[in-house]
Structure 1
């Protein structure tokens, strides 16, 4: 019984994120301009998402957490990457049930990067973030684990939406990629000039 989230749920998560993101950018443009830490920006984005889900029945028992690193029974969250290695993870921001909803624990995973220069070290971190989002949004772990609605996997997966969020100070743009079902499916660019209009 692999009931991976349908497109309606995916678009619902996109709508939630985009509305929260525009609220965040319009309300906190100064944070973007002052180049504060990713953690600070994720904290404000967390508040904007939480404001939108607080009174929505669909999200009744879901939480928005920054740098959350626990899975069920206090295990460290981990994935299997493309090389089938076990990798501990701490996402920049997630929307999830904290292991309480076995049918759909994970909704949104977001990885944020600030870019000031193009160097190999930075590019490797970007590749790792995107690999993480690919793994987090996959529907299962093949023969190792198939979703049955009764248990959570040892390795985290089944996020409805993965988001790579790059704040690029070199070209004054925010570059966003959306992940679903283990692959990048869409992207968009927001020019700094469009924020606050």
Structure 2
């Protein structure tokens, strides 16, 4: 099985459909973003099983890498910063050849534009294969800083409008036009 964007879309789309169908009451009740991410993780794990994806986990707020170290990325100024993504699909370091699959940031419309841009910047950093050749995600050894996610998703959930705005990222940039999901 090739763990590419096409394969991952077969997990992403039904997981999001199930999430919006089954979690509508929580969304409309305006529960916290963390709760929604935990619920979304459950739907991802269910779809991962359906797709036969073994050895991967959907973890909200996961912030560790090898040997218990805090996950880090390099920002645009090549400064090391700690990172915690809202939800990640990964092997928890167990499958070095392809550890990181999907990084998800979630927001509600009341989040500030600066905070939303921080989420977007995080997804661009996480989906890069490397940082200007400083190190790579070569599938042999874990990279020093977190990178190499196949897909990044930025999901803005607007309960009042009853829709979500979905942006997709790959290779450090927006990978396709934004999509609106009505629920």
- Same fold per superposition (TM over 0.5): yes
**What is the deviation of 1:170?**
6.0
Q: Are the aligned partners of 2:15 and 2:40 in contact in 1 as well (CA < 8 Å)?
A: yes
Q: Is 1:188 aligned with 2:153?
A: no
- Say whether residues 1:84 and 2:74 are aligned partners: no
Which residue in 2 is equivalent to 1:136? 126
State the Cα deviation string for residues 130-187 of structure 1 (Å, max 9, x = none).
0000000001123310233221111100000100011134644311100001101122
- Paired with 1:171 and 1:25, the residues of 2 have a C-alpha distance of 13
Question: What RMSD in Å do the two structures reach over aligned CA positions?
Answer: 1.7
Long gaps (5+) in structure 2: none
Q: Does 1:32 align with 2:23?
A: no
Q: Which moved more, 1:83-92 or 1:124-133?
A: 83-92
Structure showing greater Rg: 1
Equivalent position to 2:158, from 145, 168, 183: 168
Number of positions where the alignment pairs a residue of Structure 1 with one of Structure 2: 181
Runs of 4+ aligned residues of structure 1 deviating over 2 Å after TM superposition are 54-57, 146-149, 168-173
TM-score by length of 2: 0.92
Measure the CA separation in 1 of the matches of 2:180 and 2:143.
34
